[in-house]
Structure 1
Amino acid sequence: MTAARTRSLSVLVIAFVMGGVTAAHAQDPCADYVPQPKPQNAGRDIVGQDFDQILEQGHMLFAVYDDYAPYSWQEGGKPKGVDIEIARMIADYIGVKAQFNFVMADENLDADLRNNVWKGPVVGGRVSNVMMRIPYDRQFKCRVEQVTFTGQYAAESIAIAYDKATYPEDKPVPAYFRYDAVGVENDSISDFYLTGMAGGQLGDNIHRYPDTLDAMEGLSAHEVSAVMGPISQLQFGSTDSIGIHQPPLAGFAVSKWTLGVAVHFAYKQLGYQVDDAIAEGLQNGRIAEIYAEYGLTHQMPVR
């Protein structure tokens, strides 16, 4: 699940940035901002994709990460996932149909936004009207002015899933993993956090998997005693024999973050409509219902 791995790495970058914020940045996160070039020669698929044309054509295109359960994936050729349903909710609010562009994650979030929102890939593909599941961060927002970051619809946070039989009373905390095996997604923020704990003393007990859902399968198979990762993915891969909790995580720069959407900077009206749709979905409980339909607990975002 390449998309999942890269998504975690994107959040890791944000964690490093926020962990090293200076006093000047605390007052003004854009203090050292250097203006970036605006798109000059927009691709043919960008021209005219404003709000009026979206209404006229009767559909809008959402970029979603491929093979990224429980958020977005394809099953039998049909789109599924939390982000798919939220995108459909947005399209319904605007009065059009949702179409989906399943994309593979690039090396970082900058490249994802360039390829899918404001410029387009070098070869093949196309830009989308809206890109889902974008980590929201004030420092990063300053540095990508070609994109409007809006529509914060959820928060994500790190948790620990554990085998109830192994821990019938005391729930595990990271210090337990000096002695007990723990699974993580390879190169994720959980991986980096545990690897750096206690001078590397946990290293031999950290089992790395291609993605968090694979790690959860390892937990069910008793390959590890616990798994650390985003709580939504832990919940999606959980069984009756698995518990999940969120203990204090000392020294974790960012164990919780806000998720929203990205829209091309030029299409302000579209951005407003998308944000209004999400605000309504948060207020009337529809977004929480969507999470619940996939067995997940919705966490309210900072807006």
Structure 2
Amino acid sequence: MRQLLAGLCLWLACALVQAEVVKVRAFDDIIDSGVLKVAMYENFPPYSFMADGKPRGVDFELAQKLASELGLKVEVLWVRPDETLDDDLRNFIWKGHYLRPNVLADVMMRVPYDREFSYKQNELGELINELVVMFGPYQRERWQSAYDDRRLEELSSVAVFRYHPVGVEVESVPSFYLSSVFNGSIAKMLHHYPTAQAAFAAMQAGEVDATMAMRGEIDWMLGQANDSHLKAAQNAYPNMGKQVWELGMAVHESNRQLAYALEGELEGLIKAGTVETIYEGYGLQYELPELYQVQLGEN
């Protein structure tokens, strides 16, 4: 009983500290500080990761460009993914994590720019992310397969995975998709790995003949491997649902002024080709968000 009471007291103390300490920085305070606190997913190449003791990745470099346009420097707050994106937004944008009650980011990168997600409700009909503003689409992402042509002549359809082993990240969209498509006939050929990088390494080692992940990850890993036998596939994903989505940023709903400022700078960087150049620097294909496809007259 003493341990239970002690634990309860500790939990209450943490909750009180969190309620007192967590505070969203106003736009003027951010400008005065000279620092923009940006939340990014850690160990997530090619988007955000550490190399030679320094932050790298397309999200980091884009954040640097945006901050520089506002006369600011970037302070990275590394995010370890929680169970859901809703949890990540809560922990870094509007509430804070109970283990880090005084840490909030000014802006978070790589957040879906999706109306359905923005207005998602809980079982009581309440908006789950009502304290978050999602804005500034800067990239379109999609799913991509890669294969080794020494073991798989071509990959024109995922149906070939019924006869060839394929590696995927555990509990990922590719895992759920490939285990259920074609009445589950691919499931027996699925090999699961802790990360997309591990699945790709398994393909390099000959454990599997192919892999599937986000296109940016596949582009990056193919470039790093520099092996002419490892190729990106040209195939569709029948009955998958959402195969293409847009990514942007998120701020606390009270900080729309920061969102407007970042969005204005982002538009200039996209139209100038700066964002595309950042992606090309990491060997990635860059696809404009729909908003800018219309503005720039691209299909």
TM over 0.5: yes
- Does 1:266 find its partner at 2:263? no
Q: Decide which of 17, 41, 60 is 1:84's aligned counterpart.
A: 60
User: How many angstroms does 1:220 deviate by?
Assistant: 1.2
Q: Decide which of 186, 195, 219 is 2:179's aligned counterpart.
A: 195
Q: Decide which of 153, 176, 188 is 2:138's aligned counterpart.
A: 153
User: How many angstroms does 1:104 deviate by?
Assistant: 0.7
Alignment of 1:153-302 (within 5 A): 153-168=138-153, 170-238=154-222, 239-240=226-227, 241-302=229-290
Q: Matches of 2:234 and 2:40 in 1, distance apart?
A: 28
Q: Matches of 2:181 and 2:79 in 1, distance apart?
A: 34
State the partner residue of 1:128: 105
CA RMSD of aligned residues (A): 1.6
Secondary structure at the residue paired with 2:39? strand
Check the 8 A contact 2:134/2:249 in 1, yes or no: yes
User: How many angstroms does 1:43 deviate by?
Assistant: 5.2
**AA aligned opposite 1:188:** S
- Does 1:46 find its partner at 2:23? yes
**Which deviations, in whole Å up to 9, do the C-alpha atoms of 1:59-99 show, x marking residues without a partner?**
11000111111111122331111111011011011111111
Structure 1 portions without partners, runs of 5+: 1-40
Secondary structure at the residue paired with 1:237? helix
Q: Matches of 1:107 and 1:192 in 2, distance apart?
A: 16
Secondary structure at the residue paired with 2:247? strand
**Which deviations, in whole Å up to 9, do the C-alpha atoms of 1:160-181 show, x marking residues without a partner?**
101122344x334210011011
Check the 8 A contact 2:181/2:239 in 1, yes or no: no
**AA aligned opposite 2:219:** Q
Structure 2 portions without partners, runs of 5+: 1-17, 120-126, 292-299
Secondary structure at the residue paired with 2:290? coil
Q: Matches of 2:69 and 2:26 in 1, distance apart?
A: 16
Check the 8 A contact 1:162/1:172 in 2, yes or no: no
User: How many angstroms does 1:45 deviate by?
Assistant: 4.8
**AA aligned opposite 1:285:** G
Q: Matches of 1:245 and 1:138 in 2, distance apart?
A: 30
Secondary structure at the residue paired with 1:278? helix
Check the 8 A contact 1:158/1:246 in 2, yes or no: no
Check the 8 A contact 2:91/2:97 in 1, yes or no: yes
Q: Matches of 2:260 and 2:19 in 1, distance apart?
A: 22
Secondary structure at the residue paired with 1:114? helix
- Does 1:116 find its partner at 2:92? yes
**Which deviations, in whole Å up to 9, do the C-alpha atoms of 1:22-50 show, x marking residues without a partner?**
xxxxxxxxxxxxxxxxxxx9654525x11
Secondary structure at the residue paired with 1:197? helix
**AA aligned opposite 2:142:** S
More moved, 135-144 vs 268-277 = 135-144
Secondary structure at the residue paired with 2:251? strand
Change (3 A) 1:219 1:172: farther
**AA aligned opposite 1:155:** R
* TM-score for both structures, normalised by structure 1: 0.82
**AA aligned opposite 1:164:** D
Check the 8 A contact 2:132/2:251 in 1, yes or no: yes
Q: Which structure would you say has the larger RCO, counting Cα contacts within 8 Å and 6 or more residues apart?
A: 1
**AA aligned opposite 1:284:** A
Q: Matches of 1:132 and 1:269 in 2, distance apart?
A: 17
User: How many angstroms does 1:138 deviate by?
Assistant: 0.9
Q: Matches of 1:123 and 1:217 in 2, distance apart?
A: 34
User: How many angstroms does 1:135 deviate by?
Assistant: 1.4
- Does 1:107 find its partner at 2:92? no
State the partner residue of 2:8: none
Q: Matches of 2:173 and 2:234 in 1, distance apart?
A: 15
